Chain A
Amino acid sequence: MIPVPPAVQRIPWKLIAVLSAITGFGLLVLYSAAGGSWSPWALQQGVRFLAFLTLALIIGRFPIRIFEDFAYLGYIGVLILLIAVELLGFVGGGSQRWLDLGFMNLQPSELMKVAIVLALARFYAQLPPGNTRTWTALWPALVMIGFPAALVMLQPDLGTALAICIGGVIVMFVAGLPFWWFGSAAGAGAAALPVLFSMLHDYQQKRVLIFLDPESDPLGAGYHISQSKIAIGSGGVSGKGFLNGSQSHLDYLPEGHTDFIFATMAEEWGLLGGLALLFAFFLLLRWSTRVALKARTRFGQLTAAGLTMTIFFYIAINLMMVMGLAPVVGIPLPLFSYGGSSMLTVMTCVGIVLAIENDSKKQGSRLS
């Protein structure tokens, strides 16, 4: 037996394997989507993954205390950035979602997905248990969610606004707020749906309507959904084979390397590829859910649960969209889609969850 040094033991190999499997599979699809070429997407995505994986592992080494301490500060900082983007967009004339940092375009709304979870987790961690069912448990959370969500809606970015809301609401839910609050809120939301719908932008309304009946305009705005379903459906069980996807290679599939990359993959790898990818995501989410359940601190529990939901929301909405179960909202598939922002967000989530895991392990080892 070769003794494994503790430093190597501490590295979460299984997690790295799952992340690498998902991203590696994504790289193959990006290679194919570029017509069998590492550029312009696959190589850059691979390099970016290595950088962000390193970042996640480093974040994972941070003591959990730091996240709790800086949760509010981080939240406020991101909120300021959001306002800045909104003002810049206003000045620049048109919708703007990112700040140009030189080496990458930073979307503050992406950071907000993480920041809202941390801030709410801290809020509920500090809340005395007795107040859980009182008004004081509710209104600060609603304000904290409402501000950034409204700002992001203004951009307008429905998908990200929803992600922020869901992340926050899940933290509130697992924090133990009364069940019927959520039930009645969901009911009220459903009732208010027509009003909300009328507040959407024209193009957003159109997307929702076309989602309800994609065949109504197969060459116009329903084109995305129709072509995506054609790509997935024509792949069959085992797919058309690597580099043989006609929908993506002949440009019928729009955004085949970003939002609709799942359709690109399914066309070439079929149902088997899809199930394999779903299984890999399942492993990732099972890991983070377990971290939440085993977390030593309340802040850790709430954060891990919230971030799990944030990751899940990406995956679920993206897959529902490409399979024609949700409107086209422009949410990428984490780690799989080409693009830095979503990968940064997801890897940050993973890093924080890793930090929570490390925290509970330290504690555990101390106890035994």
Chain B
Amino acid sequence: MPRKKSPPITEAWRGMTFTRRALLVGGGQMVIGAALATRMAYISIIDNDRYVLESESNRVNLTLIPPRRGWIVDKNGKALANNRVSLRIDIIPDRLHNKEFVLGQLRTLLRLDGDAMERINRDLKAASGFQPVAIAEDLSEGDYASILVRLPELPGVAPQRGFARNYPTGAAVGHLIGYVGAPNAEEYQKDKDPLYITPGYKIGKDGLEKYFQPVLKGEPGAKRVEVTARGKVVRDLETSPDVQGKTVHLTIDADLQDYVARRMGRESGAAVVIDCTNGDILSFVSMPSFDPNSFSDGISNSEYAWLRADDHQPLINKATRGLYPPGSTLKPMAAIAAIEHGIDPSERHTCIGGYRLGSRFFRCLGTHGSVDMATAIMKSCNSYFYWVAHRLGYDAIAPTAKLMGLGEEFQLAGSNQRFGTIPDSAWKMRKYDQPWSASDSLNAVIGQGYVIVNPLQLAVMASRIASGRRLYPRLIRREFKNEALPFSAEALATARHGMDLVVNGPGGTAGRSKLPLDGIAMAGKTGTAQVRGLNTGNGKAGAWKFRDHGLFIGFAPVDNPRYATAVVIEHGMGGSRAAAPVAKDFMTFLFDREKAMEALETFETGWGGTIKERMDRDYAAWKSGASSDPDPGVPQ
């Protein structure tokens, strides 16, 4: 330090220097003290808001309570989907101090396998802060209690008493209701709802659960608790309860739905029952199905693989996405079209075992002799309808088919429909750039060739023939006009009479499926559809997947129809053999439950138990590698 010439160092100088320097040090101390006071004032006044907020977010831990999902109930208020109590264990990553120890304990106590531990570790790595990570769901009371008593040694572990979706009738409503599941990353990215990353929260993933998600979801509750740094809850602050989602009322009859599903037995197919007075869908079944409870609990890979591997396709809703040639079930409709186009229903045509069209001979299934229109329907005489189709051309019949709902896509909640084809000349020109031929008409009129429909459309057709109104199928109380069909009473009466004869007439094709009831009769029409494009065997035997489909449409009671139905049994080898007896039983159920249940119980004994028992057994067998296919004769 540059200084003036140093003064001589004396005691006095030393004393002065000391005083100066001591004052300098003291002054420096005061400056530092003042700086500290300023700093403190800055933190506690200028930054006060920010730190108050941080202190609060330290102190208060907000947890969302997933709302209870709204119920889905049938027309009588019976639950098709409700909630059950579910015990679950989560981990709050911020409070997890001794990770290895805690996870080790959980693994032992809850008997978690390696897959589960891997998932938990993955989730923990991705998670942050107070966002809980699911450890296990649906614990037994015992396992849950074993965690509860050890809670003090397991910091970060958060037991929760929540709710899980429950489908009381299981697989019977699988395709109808759909299922729920934990939101995936894309869904979270889309909606940015913090609830989506709350463990235990499920959203509708398929079917009605997905369609009605906005109605069913409800409002989450929030729990505010004061917590220590180690995550110990000191006390509960205010809690706002969740608001349960709204109930969705369906037109379904839960008991009938269950009955129909069970009555389908080991078969693959679909059955739809419609109320003829208003278009209410009372039963909407596709079998085999999946158990939506399994999906909602997070289905295991092997169970999913089992469902996918099944050649009966339990993951596809055949009622709306199964397309089948309708076969002879179209004949009553064709009869109406014929009468509307001037054919006298009493005019007779002689069946010689087929119909000659130019050089080709179109075969009938029998040689029915002289038949009028009603008899032709009763006996399912192809020759008669070949004759009608040849005379009118299919362009005259197709509009009637469309008025009956065939080829139509309905506004139906939560359904994803494949609506098939009702062909006409314009369609063929558009599609294949070829003119319509007479043989196309002949094929189409017996429900083969280009004609392809789904089971729902068949049921709608049955309801429209039965009611004479343009009924629209509905699953919820949605208003449709349902105006009268532009057909003469004679046309409708002839079709209904023919269908009456099919079941109740002498030699009708479904004579064995008369309802076992006094005073209530069912009308119907069977159909047998060749599996398209596969010219193997005669369709009556051989490999399952090459057999003919069995179809049936019907309504009951014959006079003053109330219920209409359509049943499709895939590869059932014939409508009268496979489909009509099923319809007979569930139609009986609508009028006499006890009688119908007796019949069902007999069948189920033969099939090896209820749907769930059979599914559990099949799955177990599949897992152990054994053949699980219920159908003998299927090449493995």
As a 0/1 sequence over residues 262 to 281 of chain A, the CB contacts with chain B under 8 angstroms (1 = contact) are 00001100110011001001
A46 to B280, CA, bound (A): 84
Q: Do A323 and B9 form a contact, CB below 8 Å, given A251-B228, A305-B25, A312-B29?
A: no
Query: CB distance A325 to B39 under 8 Å?
Result: yes
Q: Are B44 and A237 in contact (CB under 8 A)?
A: yes
Query: Is A250 a contact partner of B226 (Cβ separation < 8 A)?
Result: yes
**Using Cβ atoms and an 8 Å threshold, which residues of chain A touch B17?**
174, 176
Residue A316 at the B interface, CB < 8 A?
Answer: yes
Determine whether the beta carbon of B41 is less than 8 Å from that of A174: no
Stretch at the interface among B46-54, B69-77, B261-269, B317-325: B46-54
- Residues of chain B with a CB closer than 8 A to A176's CB: 9, 13-14, 17-18, 21
Which residue of B has the minimal Cβ distance to A173? B21
Contact (A234, B45) CB under 8 Å given A129-B13, A250-B226, A293-B19: no
7 inter-chain pairs at a CB distance below 8 angstroms, sorted by A residue, are A176-B14, A180-B3, A237-B44, A292-B22, A309-B25, A312-B29, A316-B32
* B45–A250 touching, CB < 8 Å: no
Q: Report how far A250 CA is from B232 CA in the complex, Å.
A: 9
Q: Please measure, in the bound complex, the distance between the C-alpha atom of A170 and the C-alpha atom of B18, giving whole angstroms.
A: 11
Are the CB atoms of B14 and A180 closer together than 8 Å?
Answer: no
With a CB–CB cut-off of 8 A, which chain B residues contact A308? 25-26, 29
Q: A250-B58, A251-B228 known; 19 other A-B pairs, CB under 8 Å?
A: A179-B1, A179-B3, A229-B43, A229-B47, A230-B58, A232-B43, A233-B54, A234-B52, A236-B45, A247-B58, A250-B234, A252-B55, A266-B40, A266-B44, A274-B40, A285-B29, A293-B22, A316-B32, A323-B36
Query: Which residues of chain B are within 8 angstroms of A247 by Cβ–Cβ distance?
Result: 55, 58-59
Contact with B along A304-327 (1 / 0, CB 8 A): 010011001000100110010100
Question: Residues of B contacting A129 with CB < 8 Å?
Answer: 9-11, 13-14
Residue of A with least CB distance to B27 = A289
Closest residue to A132 on the B side, CB-wise? B9
Which residues in window 315-343 of A have CB below 8 A to B? 316, 319-320, 323, 325
Give, as a whole number of angstroms, the nearest-CB distance from A249 to chain B.
Answer: 8
> How far apart sit A227 and B6, CA to CA, in the bound complex (Å)?
52
Report yes or no: B22 in contact with A230, Cβ–Cβ below 8 A. Answer: no
CA distance A278 to B38 in the complex (A): 11
B120 at interface, CB cutoff 8 A: no
Closest chain A CB from B229 CB (angstroms)? 4
Report if A356 contacts B (CB, 8 A).
no
- Contact between A133 and B51, CB atoms less than 8 A apart: no
Q: Which residues of B contact A323 (CB under 8 A)?
A: 36, 39-40, 43
Interface membership of chain B positions 92-128, coded 1 if the CB is closer than 8 angstroms to chain A and 0 otherwise: 0010000000000000000000000000000000000
The CA of A167 and the CA of B230, in the complex, are separated in Å by: 40
Chain B contacts for A316, CB-based, 8 A: 29, 32-33, 36
- Is residue B227 within 8 Å, beta carbon to beta carbon, of the partner chain? yes
- B-binding residues in A (CB < 8 A): 129-130, 132-133, 170, 173-176, 178-180, 183, 219, 227, 229-237, 246-247, 250-252, 266-267, 270-271, 274-275, 278, 281-282, 285-286, 289, 292-293, 298, 301-302, 305, 308-309, 312, 316, 319-320, 323, 325
Residues from chain B with Cβ under 8 Å of A237 in the complex = 44-45, 48
- Residue B412 interfacial (CB < 8 Å): no
B52 lies within 8 A of A233 (CB): yes
B11 near A319 with CB under 8 A, answer no
Q: Which residues of A contact B48 (CB under 8 A)?
A: 233-234, 236-237
Q: Give the most central of B47, B55, B230, B234: most A CB within 10 Å.
A: B55
Q: Does B151 contact A (CB under 8 A)?
A: no
Q: For residue A302, which residue of chain B has the nearest CB? A: B18
B1 near A320 (CB under 8 angstroms)?
Answer: no
| Minimum distance in angstroms from B16 CB to a CB of chain A | 9
Task: Let me know if B36 and A230 touch, CB within 8 A.
Answer: no
Whether B13 contacts A229 by the Cβ 8 Å rule is no
Task: Please provide the chain B residues from 228 to 248 with a CB less than 8 Å away from any CB of chain A in the complex.
Answer: 228-230, 234
Closest 4 CB pairs of A and B: A233-B51, A180-B1, A234-B55, A176-B17
Check B426 for interface membership: any CB of A closer than 8 A: no
> CA separation between A255 and B422, bound complex, in Å?
82
* Main secondary structure on B side of the interface with A: helix
Residues of B within 8 A of A179 (CB): 1, 3
Complex contacts, B227 vs chain A, CB 8 Å: 250
| A235-B50 Cα distance, complex, nearest whole Å | 11
Among residues of A, the one whose C-beta sits closest to the C-beta of B44 is: A271
Q: Which residues in A have their C-beta under 8 angstroms from that of B37?
A: 274-275, 278
- A130 touching B33 in the complex, CB below 8 Å, given contacts A234-B54, A236-B44: no
B55 in contact with A130 (CB, 8 Å): no
Chain A residues near B13 (CB-CB < 8 A)? 129, 176
| Min C-beta distance of A50 to chain B, whole Å | 28
Question: Could you say which of B19, B41, B228 contacts A271, with CB atoms under 8 Å apart?
Answer: B41
> In whole angstroms, what is the CA distance A180 to B44 when docked?
39
Let me know if B621 is at the binding interface, CB within 8 A: no
For residue A271, which residues in chain B have a CB less than 8 angstroms away from its CB? 40-41, 44-45
Partner of A174, one of B3, B21, B40, B94: B21
Question: Is B30 interfacial (CB-CB < 8 Å)?
Answer: yes
List the A side residues contacting B39 at CB < 8 Å. Answer: 323, 325
A129-B36 Cα distance, complex, nearest whole Å: 37
- CB–CB B43/A319 < 8 A: no
Q: How far is the CA of A301 from the CA of B23 in the complex (A)?
A: 12
Shortest Cβ distance from residue A30 to the other chain B in the assembled complex, whole angstroms: 19
**Are B51 and A230 in contact, CB atoms less than 8 angstroms apart?**
yes
Known: A130-B9, A235-B44, A247-B58. A289 touches B1 (CB 8 A): no
A81 to chain B, nearest CB (A): 29
**Given A250-B234, A305-B25: A133 and B229 within 8 A (CB)?**
no
Nearest A residue to B13 via CB reads A129
Q: Once the chains bind, are A233 and B58 in contact (CB under 8 Å)?
A: no
Within the assembled complex, what's the spacing in Å between the Cα atoms of A129 and B13?
9
A129-B9, A173-B25, A174-B18 as given contacts; A246 in contact with B59, CB under 8 Å: yes
A270 to B37, CA, bound (A): 12
**Cα separation A11 to B178 with both chains bound (whole Å):** 89
Q: Report B464 CB to chain A, min CB distance, Å.
A: 68
Chain B nearest CB from A367 CB (Å) reads 16
CB-nearest residue of chain B to A278:
B37
Q: Known: A129-B10, A130-B9. Is A301-B18 also a contact (CB below 8 A)?
A: yes
B47 touches A233 (CB 8 A): yes
- Kindly provide the distance from the CB of A266 to the nearest chain B CB, expressed in whole angstroms: 7
Q: State in angstroms the CA–CA spacing of A236 and B53 once bound together.
A: 12
Check B33 against A251 for contact (C-beta < 8 Å). no
User: Contact at A289–B26, with CB atoms within 8 Å?
Assistant: yes
| Shortest CB distance A77–B (Å) | 28
Contacting residues, chain B, for A229 (C-beta < 8 A): 43, 47, 51
Inter-chain contact B55/A183, CB cutoff 8 Å: no
User: Which residues of chain A are near B26, meaning CB under 8 Å?
Assistant: 285-286, 289, 308
Q: Min CB distance, A172 to chain B, in Å?
A: 10
Interface residues of B in 270-325 (CB under 8 A from A): none
Q: Which residues of A contact B14 (CB under 8 A)?
A: 129, 132, 176, 298
| A contact residues around B19 at 8 Å (CB) | 293
**B1 → A minimal CB distance (Å):** 3
A251 contacts B229, CB within 8 Å? yes
Q: Point out the residues of chain B lying under 8 angstroms from A233, CB to CB.
A: 43-44, 47-48, 50-52, 54-55
User: What 1/0 mask marks residues of chain B from 556 to 588 whose CB sits below 8 Å from any chain A CB?
Assistant: 000000000000000000000000000000000
The distance in angstroms between the C-alpha atoms of A175 and B45, with both chains bound, is 42
- Taken together as a complex, chains A and B put the C-alpha atoms of A302 and B15 apart, in Å, by 11
Instruction: Name the distance in Å between A316's Cβ and chain B's nearest Cβ.
Output: 5
Q: Give Cα distance in the complex from A219 to B129, angstroms.
A: 10
Query: In the assembled complex, which residues on chain A have CB atoms less than 8 Å from the CB atom of B230?
Result: 251
Contacts of A246 in B (CB 8 A): 55, 58-59, 226
A163 to chain B, nearest CB (A): 15
- Chain B nearest CB from A300 CB (Å) reads 11
A129-B55 Cα distance, complex, nearest whole Å: 58
Complex Cα gap A179–B45 (Å): 39
**Do B229 and A252 touch (CB < 8 A)?**
yes
- Complex contacts, B1 vs chain A, CB 8 Å: 178-180, 183
